Amino acid sequence: MKLFCLLTILLVQPYSLMSQEYKLPNLPTHNSDDFVVIAHRGASAYAPENTHSAFRLAIEMKAEMIELDISLSKDGVPVVVHDETVDRTTRATGNVGDFELEELKELETGAWFDEKFSGEPFPTLAEVLSYTKDKIAVNIEIKSEAVTDNAKGGIVDKALRIVKEAGVEDQIIFSSFDYRVMEHLEKLAPGMPKAILYDKSQSGNLSPSQLVKKYKGDAFNCSHRQLSNAWVEDLTSKNIPFFIYTVNDEALMEKIIKKGASGIFSDKPDILKRVVENL
């Protein structure tokens, strides 16, 4: 009888059982379609990327997750910014890591996108996580330039503390193009979901599933340009969740959803939501 029950469970719920080894964040938004709409740097087609305006808009649009990038200020505070320098998104120039937080706070990060966003403040990770709790999950991408060999006291350690202080541990997934981040997470917070962002130079000839296994990842993230049919087969055959960036074209969204992706990063989460709902 016990064997019969076990077989029944295996046959009825193969996905949930087999995917148990991969930990993904809770999605505070009700998500009946099981597909994750990820607002890339916030709803960044409509508001300046990686700003409070872009994140709040993503929440309003009912995206299930926001993706943001973090680096460290000179005084070691995790700040939200994509580029290594402030040149593109502020009126100043120089490396993010050469500015103290107080100096970054004197800059504004909205006018480059549209004058109506002029005065948008440079956000810290702690500020963003203060309003995402139970509203939206967050993919924290750690920028390579802020990563060092030391786990303790480094950017991963600092980000983990902020996540804990905000009480959002179950609503976060980390990712990075620098695979030392995977090792640091494994050491400091082995239960925290982490996604491998495909980087050819660190991957050798390993397939996506081999990379996920090697770094004890929970998901595989890559560009839609990199996603081959062989990779789809490799990932789906092992039930590994995969998330694809950055897709703003409706036809391409549809194609990638049909390939079995678990989620898509888009600058237009409203459009992606509509595509998912109409499929």
CB of 80 to ligand G3P, least distance (A): 12
Identify whether the C-beta of residue 25 lies closer than 8 Å to the C-beta of residue 193. Answer: yes
Question: Does the active-site annotation cover 40?
Answer: yes
Identify whether the C-beta of residue 248 lies closer than 8 Å to the C-beta of residue 271. Answer: yes
CB of 243 to ligand G3P, least distance (A): 7
Residue 40 binds to ligand G3P (criterion: CB under 6 A): yes
CB of 5 to ligand G3P, least distance (A): 41
* Active-site position among 40, 52, 184, 224: 40
CB of 50 to ligand G3P, least distance (A): 10
> Which residue sits closest to ligand G3P, CB atoms considered?
245
Nearer CB in complex with ligand G3P: 106/249: 249
Please tell me the distance from the alpha carbon of residue 241 to that of residue 269, in angstroms, as a whole number: 19
Q: Which of residues 202-261 bind ligand G3P (CB under 6 A)?
A: 221, 245
Q: Which of 115, 139, 109, 125 is nearest to 41 (CA)?
A: 139
3-state secondary structure of 57: helix
Nearer CB in complex with ligand G3P: 82/278: 82
Binding-site residue total for ligand G3P (CB under 6 A)? 9
Question: Taking phi first (over 0 means left), then psi (-120 to 50 degrees means alpha), and beta for anything else, what does residue 266 get?
Answer: beta
Question: Does the active-site annotation cover 30?
Answer: no
CB of 195 to ligand G3P, least distance (A): 8
Nearer CB in complex with ligand G3P: 97/105: 97
Contacts 24+ apart (CB under 8 A), 29-34: 29/62, 29/63, 29/64, 29/135, 29/136, 31/64, 33/276, 33/277
Helix (H) or strand (E) holding 38: strand 36-40
* Active-site position among 30, 82, 184, 224: 82
x/- track of binding to ligand G3P for residues 164-203 (CB under 6 A)? -----------x---------------------x------
Two tokens at 6? 């076990």
Nearer CB in complex with ligand G3P: 165/224: 224
DSSP string, 209-266: HHHHHHTT-SEEEEETTT--HHHHHHHHHTT--EEEE----HHHHHHHHHTT-SEEEE
Nearer CB in complex with ligand G3P: 50/105: 50
3-state secondary structure of 22: coil
Which residues of this protein are in contact with ligand G3P, per CB under 6 A?
40, 67, 69, 141, 175, 197, 221, 245, 265
Active site residues: 40, 82
